[in-house]
Amino acid sequence: MIDKEIINANPRVFSPLWRRSPFSVIIPLFIFSYIIFSLNYFNFSIDDLLNGFSKMKPILLSMVTWSDFLSWNFNSIIIGILQTLSMAFLGTLAASIISIPLGLLASSQVIKMTLPRFIIRRFLDFIRGIDILIWALIFVRAFGLGPLSGVLAIFVADTGTLSKLYSEAADNSDNKQIEGLISSGAKKIPTLRFGLIPQVMPIFISQSLYFFESNSRSAVILGIVGAGGIGLQLSERMKAQYWDQAFFIILIILLMVALIDKLSRVLREKLIND
Protein backbone atom coordinates (compact mmCIF):
# COMPACT_ATOMS: atom_id res chain seq x y z
CA MET A 1 0.00 0.00 0.00
CA ILE A 2 1.14 3.54 -0.77
CA ASP A 3 1.40 5.81 2.24
CA LYS A 4 -1.32 8.50 2.40
CA GLU A 5 1.29 11.18 3.07
CA ILE A 6 2.99 10.35 -0.24
CA ILE A 7 -0.37 10.54 -2.02
CA ASN A 8 -1.21 13.87 -0.39
CA ALA A 9 2.24 15.23 -1.27
CA ASN A 10 1.82 14.23 -4.91
CA PRO A 11 -1.88 14.66 -5.66
CA ARG A 12 -1.33 15.11 -9.42
CA VAL A 13 0.64 11.89 -9.78
CA PHE A 14 -1.83 9.72 -7.88
CA SER A 15 -5.03 11.40 -9.09
CA PRO A 16 -7.28 9.51 -11.54
CA LEU A 17 -6.24 9.73 -15.17
CA TRP A 18 -9.20 11.88 -16.25
CA ARG A 19 -8.44 14.49 -13.56
CA ARG A 20 -4.87 15.17 -14.64
CA SER A 21 -5.55 16.53 -18.11
CA PRO A 22 -8.35 16.13 -20.66
CA PHE A 23 -5.72 15.10 -23.20
CA SER A 24 -4.84 12.09 -21.03
CA VAL A 25 -8.22 10.65 -22.00
CA ILE A 26 -8.79 12.23 -25.42
CA ILE A 27 -5.53 11.08 -27.01
CA PRO A 28 -5.85 7.37 -26.06
CA LEU A 29 -9.50 7.41 -27.17
CA PHE A 30 -8.53 9.00 -30.48
CA ILE A 31 -5.79 6.43 -31.09
CA PHE A 32 -8.11 3.54 -30.24
CA SER A 33 -10.90 4.95 -32.42
CA TYR A 34 -8.52 5.48 -35.33
CA ILE A 35 -7.26 1.90 -35.08
CA ILE A 36 -10.84 0.59 -35.19
CA PHE A 37 -11.66 2.89 -38.13
CA SER A 38 -8.54 1.79 -40.06
CA LEU A 39 -9.24 -1.92 -39.54
CA ASN A 40 -12.84 -1.44 -40.63
CA TYR A 41 -11.86 0.71 -43.64
CA PHE A 42 -9.40 -1.92 -44.91
CA ASN A 43 -11.95 -4.69 -44.31
CA PHE A 44 -9.50 -6.50 -42.09
CA SER A 45 -10.54 -9.94 -40.92
CA ILE A 46 -8.86 -12.94 -39.34
CA ASP A 47 -10.10 -15.13 -42.20
CA ASP A 48 -8.31 -12.97 -44.78
CA LEU A 49 -5.13 -13.12 -42.72
CA LEU A 50 -5.24 -16.91 -42.40
CA ASN A 51 -6.11 -17.26 -46.10
CA GLY A 52 -3.09 -15.14 -47.03
CA PHE A 53 -0.77 -17.24 -44.89
CA SER A 54 -2.10 -20.41 -46.52
CA LYS A 55 -1.28 -18.98 -49.97
CA MET A 56 2.25 -18.14 -48.81
CA LYS A 57 2.99 -21.75 -47.86
CA PRO A 58 3.73 -23.01 -51.42
CA ILE A 59 5.80 -19.87 -52.10
CA LEU A 60 7.95 -20.48 -49.02
CA LEU A 61 8.38 -24.13 -49.97
CA SER A 62 9.46 -23.11 -53.47
CA MET A 63 12.02 -20.71 -52.05
CA VAL A 64 13.93 -23.43 -50.22
CA THR A 65 13.65 -25.98 -53.05
CA TRP A 66 16.55 -25.04 -55.32
CA SER A 67 15.85 -27.09 -58.43
CA ASP A 68 18.35 -27.01 -61.33
CA PHE A 69 20.65 -24.78 -59.28
CA LEU A 70 23.61 -25.12 -61.65
CA SER A 71 21.54 -24.05 -64.65
CA TRP A 72 20.62 -20.65 -63.21
CA ASN A 73 21.79 -17.50 -64.96
CA PHE A 74 24.44 -16.40 -62.47
CA ASN A 75 25.98 -13.90 -64.90
CA SER A 76 22.89 -11.67 -64.73
CA ILE A 77 22.92 -11.86 -60.93
CA ILE A 78 26.60 -10.87 -60.70
CA ILE A 79 26.08 -8.02 -63.18
CA GLY A 80 23.04 -6.89 -61.18
CA ILE A 81 25.05 -6.79 -57.95
CA LEU A 82 27.83 -4.79 -59.61
CA GLN A 83 25.30 -2.36 -61.11
CA THR A 84 23.65 -1.89 -57.71
CA LEU A 85 26.98 -1.17 -56.00
CA SER A 86 27.93 1.22 -58.81
CA MET A 87 24.62 3.07 -58.53
CA ALA A 88 25.03 3.49 -54.78
CA PHE A 89 28.69 4.52 -55.02
CA LEU A 90 28.40 6.96 -57.93
CA GLY A 91 25.18 8.54 -56.64
CA THR A 92 26.58 9.00 -53.13
CA LEU A 93 29.93 10.29 -54.40
CA ALA A 94 28.33 12.87 -56.71
CA ALA A 95 25.93 13.98 -53.98
CA SER A 96 28.76 14.28 -51.45
CA ILE A 97 30.85 16.45 -53.77
CA ILE A 98 28.04 18.86 -54.70
CA SER A 99 26.75 18.95 -51.10
CA ILE A 100 30.00 20.42 -49.74
CA PRO A 101 29.57 23.86 -51.37
CA LEU A 102 25.78 23.77 -50.97
CA GLY A 103 26.04 22.81 -47.30
CA LEU A 104 28.59 25.53 -46.61
CA LEU A 105 26.47 28.13 -48.40
CA ALA A 106 23.50 27.10 -46.25
CA SER A 107 25.55 27.53 -43.06
CA SER A 108 25.54 30.68 -40.96
CA GLN A 109 29.30 30.24 -40.52
CA VAL A 110 29.83 31.03 -44.20
CA ILE A 111 26.83 33.14 -45.31
CA LYS A 112 25.88 35.74 -42.76
CA MET A 113 23.02 37.26 -44.78
CA THR A 114 19.69 35.65 -43.96
CA LEU A 115 17.93 35.85 -47.35
CA PRO A 116 20.47 33.92 -49.50
CA ARG A 117 20.78 31.30 -46.79
CA PHE A 118 16.99 31.03 -46.55
CA ILE A 119 16.65 30.51 -50.33
CA ILE A 120 19.31 27.79 -50.40
CA ARG A 121 17.77 25.97 -47.45
CA ARG A 122 14.25 26.04 -48.94
CA PHE A 123 15.68 24.69 -52.21
CA LEU A 124 17.30 21.84 -50.30
CA ASP A 125 14.02 21.21 -48.45
CA PHE A 126 12.27 20.89 -51.80
CA ILE A 127 14.77 18.32 -53.06
CA ARG A 128 14.72 16.41 -49.79
CA GLY A 129 10.93 16.47 -49.58
CA ILE A 130 10.52 14.31 -52.70
CA ASP A 131 11.11 10.63 -52.01
CA ILE A 132 13.91 8.83 -53.82
CA LEU A 133 11.39 6.50 -55.49
CA ILE A 134 9.59 9.49 -57.01
CA TRP A 135 12.89 10.79 -58.37
CA ALA A 136 13.61 7.32 -59.78
CA LEU A 137 10.27 7.22 -61.60
CA ILE A 138 10.89 10.71 -63.01
CA PHE A 139 14.36 9.80 -64.29
CA VAL A 140 13.20 6.43 -65.65
CA ARG A 141 10.60 8.33 -67.65
CA ALA A 142 13.19 10.86 -68.86
CA PHE A 143 16.27 8.66 -69.43
CA GLY A 144 14.70 5.23 -69.82
CA LEU A 145 15.31 1.99 -67.96
CA GLY A 146 18.79 1.40 -66.62
CA PRO A 147 21.30 2.24 -63.86
CA LEU A 148 21.70 5.87 -65.00
CA SER A 149 18.22 6.66 -63.68
CA GLY A 150 19.14 5.07 -60.35
CA VAL A 151 22.37 7.06 -60.07
CA LEU A 152 20.54 10.32 -60.76
CA ALA A 153 17.77 9.50 -58.28
CA ILE A 154 20.29 8.79 -55.51
CA PHE A 155 22.31 11.87 -56.44
CA VAL A 156 19.36 14.28 -56.30
CA ALA A 157 17.74 12.82 -53.18
CA ASP A 158 21.01 12.63 -51.24
CA THR A 159 22.07 16.13 -52.26
CA GLY A 160 19.18 17.63 -50.32
CA THR A 161 19.79 15.56 -47.18
CA LEU A 162 23.60 15.65 -47.15
CA SER A 163 23.66 19.41 -47.76
CA LYS A 164 21.42 19.92 -44.74
CA LEU A 165 23.60 17.66 -42.58
CA TYR A 166 26.76 19.37 -43.80
CA SER A 167 25.33 22.82 -43.01
CA GLU A 168 24.38 21.71 -39.50
CA ALA A 169 27.88 20.32 -38.95
CA ALA A 170 29.35 23.66 -40.04
CA ASP A 171 26.94 25.58 -37.78
CA ASN A 172 27.99 23.47 -34.78
CA SER A 173 31.74 23.82 -35.41
CA ASP A 174 34.07 25.43 -32.88
CA ASN A 175 34.37 29.19 -33.42
CA LYS A 176 37.68 29.54 -31.57
CA GLN A 177 39.81 28.49 -34.54
CA ILE A 178 37.82 30.71 -36.91
CA GLU A 179 38.00 33.72 -34.58
CA GLY A 180 41.74 33.17 -34.10
CA LEU A 181 42.35 33.30 -37.85
CA ILE A 182 40.13 36.37 -38.25
CA SER A 183 41.93 38.18 -35.43
CA SER A 184 45.26 37.45 -37.10
CA GLY A 185 44.04 39.17 -40.29
CA ALA A 186 43.13 36.14 -42.40
CA LYS A 187 40.62 36.69 -45.18
CA LYS A 188 37.41 34.72 -45.82
CA ILE A 189 38.72 31.89 -48.00
CA PRO A 190 41.81 31.07 -45.87
CA THR A 191 39.64 31.23 -42.75
CA LEU A 192 37.27 28.64 -44.19
CA ARG A 193 40.14 26.55 -45.56
CA PHE A 194 42.16 26.34 -42.34
CA GLY A 195 39.57 27.11 -39.65
CA LEU A 196 36.31 25.42 -40.71
CA ILE A 197 37.05 22.69 -43.29
CA PRO A 198 39.48 20.66 -41.10
CA GLN A 199 36.83 20.52 -38.37
CA VAL A 200 33.89 19.40 -40.51
CA MET A 201 35.56 17.25 -43.19
CA PRO A 202 35.76 14.08 -41.02
CA ILE A 203 32.05 14.51 -40.24
CA PHE A 204 31.27 14.98 -43.94
CA ILE A 205 33.12 11.80 -44.88
CA SER A 206 31.52 9.82 -42.05
CA GLN A 207 28.03 10.90 -43.10
CA SER A 208 28.76 10.09 -46.74
CA LEU A 209 29.92 6.60 -45.77
CA TYR A 210 26.70 6.06 -43.86
CA PHE A 211 24.67 7.20 -46.87
CA PHE A 212 26.59 4.84 -49.15
CA GLU A 213 25.63 2.01 -46.80
CA SER A 214 21.99 3.13 -46.87
CA ASN A 215 21.97 3.65 -50.64
CA SER A 216 23.20 0.10 -51.23
CA ARG A 217 19.78 -0.95 -49.91
CA SER A 218 17.88 1.83 -51.66
CA ALA A 219 19.46 0.92 -55.00
CA VAL A 220 17.82 -2.51 -54.76
CA ILE A 221 14.38 -0.90 -54.50
CA LEU A 222 15.18 1.48 -57.34
CA GLY A 223 15.93 -1.51 -59.54
CA ILE A 224 12.43 -2.84 -58.97
CA VAL A 225 10.92 0.34 -60.46
CA GLY A 226 13.14 0.08 -63.54
CA ALA A 227 16.50 1.57 -62.55
CA GLY A 228 18.42 -1.64 -63.20
CA GLY A 229 20.68 -3.52 -60.85
CA ILE A 230 19.92 -6.53 -58.70
CA GLY A 231 16.47 -5.16 -57.89
CA LEU A 232 15.45 -5.59 -61.51
CA GLN A 233 16.75 -9.18 -61.49
CA LEU A 234 14.77 -9.87 -58.33
CA SER A 235 11.60 -8.31 -59.77
CA GLU A 236 11.81 -10.31 -62.99
CA ARG A 237 12.20 -13.61 -61.15
CA MET A 238 9.33 -12.84 -58.79
CA LYS A 239 7.07 -11.99 -61.72
CA ALA A 240 8.04 -15.28 -63.38
CA GLN A 241 7.44 -17.04 -60.02
CA TYR A 242 10.99 -18.38 -59.84
CA TRP A 243 10.81 -18.20 -56.07
CA ASP A 244 13.95 -20.26 -55.47
CA GLN A 245 16.06 -17.88 -57.56
CA ALA A 246 14.36 -14.88 -55.93
CA PHE A 247 15.24 -16.21 -52.48
CA PHE A 248 18.84 -16.80 -53.58
CA ILE A 249 19.05 -13.18 -54.77
CA ILE A 250 17.60 -11.98 -51.44
CA LEU A 251 20.34 -13.87 -49.61
CA ILE A 252 22.97 -12.29 -51.86
CA ILE A 253 21.51 -8.84 -51.15
CA LEU A 254 21.61 -9.47 -47.39
CA LEU A 255 25.25 -10.57 -47.63
CA MET A 256 26.14 -7.52 -49.74
CA VAL A 257 24.47 -5.11 -47.29
CA ALA A 258 26.10 -6.81 -44.29
CA LEU A 259 29.58 -6.50 -45.83
CA ILE A 260 29.05 -2.85 -46.75
CA ASP A 261 27.68 -2.15 -43.27
CA LYS A 262 30.77 -3.70 -41.67
CA LEU A 263 33.18 -1.83 -43.95
CA SER A 264 31.36 1.47 -43.46
CA ARG A 265 31.32 1.07 -39.68
CA VAL A 266 35.06 0.35 -39.56
CA LEU A 267 35.87 3.39 -41.71
CA ARG A 268 33.56 5.68 -39.71
CA GLU A 269 35.09 4.56 -36.39
CA LYS A 270 38.57 5.15 -37.79
CA LEU A 271 37.62 8.67 -38.89
CA ILE A 272 36.03 9.49 -35.53
CA ASN A 273 38.91 8.08 -33.47
CA ASP A 274 41.55 9.82 -35.57
Say how far apart CA 175 and CA 179 lie, in whole Å.
Answer: 6
pLDDT for residue 20: 55
User: Taking 90 as the threshold, does the pLDDT of residue 95 lie above it?
Assistant: yes
pLDDT mean over 214-232: 86
pLDDT mean over 144-164: 91
b (16+ CB within 10 A) / e for 112-129: eeeeebeebbeebeebbe
Say how far apart CA 203 and CA 210 lie, in whole Å.
Answer: 11
What is the Cα 260 distance to its own chain's centre?
15
Which numeric CATH code is attached to 75-273?
1.10.3720.10
Alpha-carbon dihedral of residues 117, 200, 163, 253, nearest 10 degrees?
Answer: -170
* 173 in Cβ contact with 196 (< 8 Å): yes
> Percentage helix, strand, coil, to 5, in the chain?
85, 0, 15
Confidence band for 153, pLDDT divided at 50, 70 and 90: very high
Domain(s) of CATH 1.10.3720.10: residues in the chain: 75-273
- Sequence letter at residue 161: T
DSSP-derived 3-state class of residue 145: coil
Say how far apart CA 229 and CA 159 lie, in whole Å.
Answer: 21
b (16+ CB within 10 A) / e for 229-243: bbbbbbbbbbeeebb
* 244 in Cβ contact with 228 (< 8 Å): no
pLDDT tens, position by position, 17-35: 545 556 666 777 888 888 8
pLDDT for residue 7: 46
Lowest mean pLDDT among 17-31, 164-178, 250-264: 17-31
Confidence band for 164, pLDDT divided at 50, 70 and 90: very high
